[in-house]
């Protein structure tokens, strides 16, 4: 009798529990952009358009419309900053330390930009524009970090959710087994919920895998990281085999990088690395991969290089020389808060370059990277600012 009463009472309680679980799963699975993420993206877009407007204005040096465009972009940027500063979204973002840095940097930028933009019409002050452009670049690097941090949060959140969903799934499994053993009709609905849970668990796993941007990119420069370079190299080897085309890996290690860290601090070193990344990307095609392997070591993967071996050698030498020239040009850096040198920091550093050409899958990815590394080491031993080919 007592057992019968317990089962009778247990059924509605169990039903209620099922209902709660189904609903909490609904909430867990609903994808949403957090205010943090959304604002980070909007800010990055705004800084990017501000940058390109400033850049155009500087390049063309003529039309008042461009100055107008810069001013418009600037006002939009300013409006966006103020809305973040005052609005609800700040609540969501303020616990991220990087957000505070970006906000402070943006305010410093706005303070500096105001008088410049007032003076640009009708005779633009181009050195001042250049200064603004540098500031926007530095701001952009930080906003980029903010976006990556937003990605990471999403990633962490989803991995946490996977654990939660897995725990719920296990709980449901035990409950439904008990209910099935008791032979109660609720077992059917429990099983349905279980399969729903497992399905959602799978969706979360996919979400988790897809938010892997930060797992394959370098945090500072946004370039591919070592792992992505290896993946791309594997693809390039397969494609080289299919199309009978050559390819090459160029490893680049900066010479004389450490002194900038030692003299001006890591912020200045970081700015230089961001500038190096930008210069390297300008030297190659969009289809080629530029990666940062760590510290001051970078790599370029030239995918399909068409033509006979002599032409391929010519192309690879041309790209290596282009990289050497681009990287050895002086770096003019203006980290915010830098007081030591009013005109900014001028630093010269060259690069040591090692090249390994590959054809089909004669060598493995590891062997190619090792060969390029040995050639790069030779270039460094020979005094740097030069390129050596793998033997
Ligand atoms: N600013 C900054 N510095 C870094 C980062 N990662 C590594 N480093 C520094 O980069 C430096 C690399 O050292 P080295 O390779 O000896 O520098 P180098 O002066 O170019 O020396 P050679 O390569 O021998 O020509 C070290 O001081 C590291 O602390 C980073 O993300 N940011």
Q: Looking at the domain assignment, is residue 269 inside a domain?
A: yes
Q: Looking at the domain assignment, is residue 323 inside a domain?
A: yes
Q: Looking at the domain assignment, is residue 155 inside a domain?
A: yes
Give me ligand 1 centre to Cα 352, in Å: 14
Give me ligand 1 centre to Cα 353, in Å: 16
Same-domain check for residues 98 and 51: yes
Compute the half-sphere exposure of residue 136: CA atoms within 13 Å on the CB side of its CA.
25
Contact 211, 154 (CB under 8 A): yes
Give me ligand 1 centre to Cα 258, in Å: 5
Q: What is the DSSP string of 156-173?
A: HHHHHHHHHHHHHHHHHH
Same-domain check for residues 134 and 205: yes
Answer yes or no: is the C-beta of 254 below 6 A from any ligand 1 atom. yes
**CB count in 10 Å sphere of residue 295:** 12
Last-in-domain residue among 214, 249, 266: 214
For the chain, the domain total comes to: 2
Quick one: which atom of ligand 1 is closest to the CA of 384? 25
pTM value surpassing 0.90: no
Quick one: which atom of ligand 1 is closest to the CA of 254? 20
Same-domain check for residues 41 and 18: yes
The CATH number assigned to the domain holding 280 equals 3.30.70.270
Mutate to test the pocket of ligand 1, among 258, 335, 354, 380 (most ligand atoms within 8 A of CB): 258
Q: Which phi and psi angles does 295 have, rounded to 5°? A: 45, -125
Same-domain check for residues 132 and 245: no
Q: Looking at the domain assignment, is residue 220 inside a domain?
A: no
Q: 9 is in which domain, residue-wise?
A: 1-214
Same-domain check for residues 192 and 299: no
Shortest-distance Cα residue to atom 30 of ligand 1: 295
Last-in-domain residue among 171, 191, 214: 214
Same-domain check for residues 206 and 236: no
Quick one: which atom of ligand 1 is closest to the CA of 256? 19
Torsion of CA 337, 340, 345, 346, to 10 degrees: 180
Same-domain check for residues 148 and 284: no
Shortest-distance Cα residue to atom 14 of ligand 1: 258
Give me ligand 1 centre to Cα 193, in Å: 54
Same-domain check for residues 125 and 157: yes
pLDDT at 344: 75
Q: Looking at the domain assignment, is residue 376 inside a domain?
A: yes
Q: Which phi and psi angles does 292 have, rounded to 5°? A: -110, 125
Q: Where are the alpha helices (DSSP H) in the chain?
A: 2-29, 35-60, 64-86, 89-93, 97-119, 126-182, 186-210, 213-216, 226-243, 258-264, 266-283, 309-328, 365-381
Mutate to test the pocket of ligand 1, among 145, 296, 383 (most ligand atoms within 8 A of CB): 296
Answer yes or no: is the C-beta of 296 below 6 A from any ligand 1 atom. yes
Q: What is the DSSP string of 268-279?
A: HHHHHHHHHHHH
Mutate to test the pocket of ligand 1, among 219, 252, 269, 274 (most ligand atoms within 8 A of CB): 269
Q: Looking at the domain assignment, is residue 221 inside a domain?
A: no
Last-in-domain residue among 214, 241, 263: 214
Same-domain check for residues 158 and 248: no
Mutate to test the pocket of ligand 1, among 225, 295, 383 (most ligand atoms within 8 A of CB): 295
Query: What Å distances lie between residue 278 and 141, 297, 348, CA to CA?
Result: 11, 14, 16
pLDDT at 25: 43
Q: What is the pLDDT along the chain (391 residues), one digit of tens a residue?
A: 666 666 555 655 655 555 555 444 444 433 344 555 555 656 666 666 666 666 565 555 545 555 566 666 666 666 666 655 554 444 445 455 556 666 666 666 666 666 655 654 444 455 565 666 666 666 666 666 666 666 555 555 555 555 555 566 666 666 656 655 655 555 555 555 555 555 554 554 454 444 455 567 776 787 888 988 998 999 999 888 888 889 999 999 999 899 998 888 887 888 899 899 989 999 998 889 999 998 999 999 998 887 777 788 899 999 999 999 999 999 988 765 554 556 678 899 999 999 999 988 888 999 999 999 999 999 999 999 999 999 7
Shortest-distance Cα residue to atom 25 of ligand 1: 255
Tokens found for residue 180: 């099935």
Quick one: which atom of ligand 1 is closest to the CA of 267? 1
Q: Looking at the domain assignment, is residue 103 inside a domain?
A: yes
Same-domain check for residues 208 and 237: no
Shortest-distance Cα residue to atom 5 of ligand 1: 295
Same-domain check for residues 100 and 126: yes
Please name the residue that has the structure tokens 């420069």: 221
Q: Looking at the domain assignment, is residue 219 inside a domain?
A: no
Answer yes or no: is the C-beta of 218 below 6 A from any ligand 1 atom. no
Same-domain check for residues 120 and 230: no
């Amino acid at each position: 009798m007592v057992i019968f009463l317990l089962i009778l009472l247990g059924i509605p309680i169990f039903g209620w529990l099922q209902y709660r679980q189904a609903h909490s799963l609904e909430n867990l699975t609903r994808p949403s952009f957090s205010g943090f993420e959304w604002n980070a993206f909007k800010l990055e877009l705004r800084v990017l358009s501000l940058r390109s407007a400033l850049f155009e204005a500087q390049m063309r040096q003529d039309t008042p419309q461009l100055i107008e465009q810069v001013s418009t972009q600037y006002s939009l940027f300013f409006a966006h900053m103020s809305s973040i500063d005052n609005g609800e979204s700040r609540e969501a973002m303020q616990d991220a330390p990087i957000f505070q840095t970006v906000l402070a940097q943006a305010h410093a930028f706005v303070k500096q930009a105001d008088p410049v933009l007032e003076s640009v019409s009708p005779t633009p002050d181009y050195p001042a524009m250049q200064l603004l452009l540098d500031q926007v670049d530095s701001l952009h690097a930080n906003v980029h970090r903010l976006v990556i941090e937003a990605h990471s949060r999403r990633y962490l959140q989803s991995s946490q959710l996977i654990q939660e969903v897995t725990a719920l799934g296990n709980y449901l499994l035990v409950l439904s087994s008990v209910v099935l053993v008791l032979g109660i009709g609720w077992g059917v609905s429990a099983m349905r919920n279980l399969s729903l849970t497992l399905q959602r668990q799978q969706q979360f796993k996919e979400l988790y895998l897809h938010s892997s941007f930060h797992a394959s990119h370098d945090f500072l420069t946004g370039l591919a990281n070592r792992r992505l370079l290896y993946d791309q190299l594997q693809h390039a080897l397969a494609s080289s085999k299919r199309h009978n085309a050559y390819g090459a890996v160029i490893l680049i290690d900066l010479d004389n990088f450490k002194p900038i860290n030692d003299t001006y601090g890591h912020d200045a070193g970081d700015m230089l690395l961001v500038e190096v990344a930008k210069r390297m990307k300008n030297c190659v095609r969009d289809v080629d991969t530029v990666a940062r392997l760590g510290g001051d070591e970078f790599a370029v993967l030239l995918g399909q290089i068409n033509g006979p071996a002599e032409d391929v050698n010519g192309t690879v030498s041309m790209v290596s020389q282009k990289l050497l020239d681009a990287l050895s040009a002086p770096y003019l850096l203006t980290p915010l808060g830098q007081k030591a040198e009013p005109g900014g920091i001028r630093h010269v550093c060259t690069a040591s370059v090692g090249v390994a050409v590959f054809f089909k899958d004669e060598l493995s990815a590891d062997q190619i990277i090792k060969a390029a590394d040995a050639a790069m080491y030779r270039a460094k031993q020979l005094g740097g600012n030069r390129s050596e080919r793998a033997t």
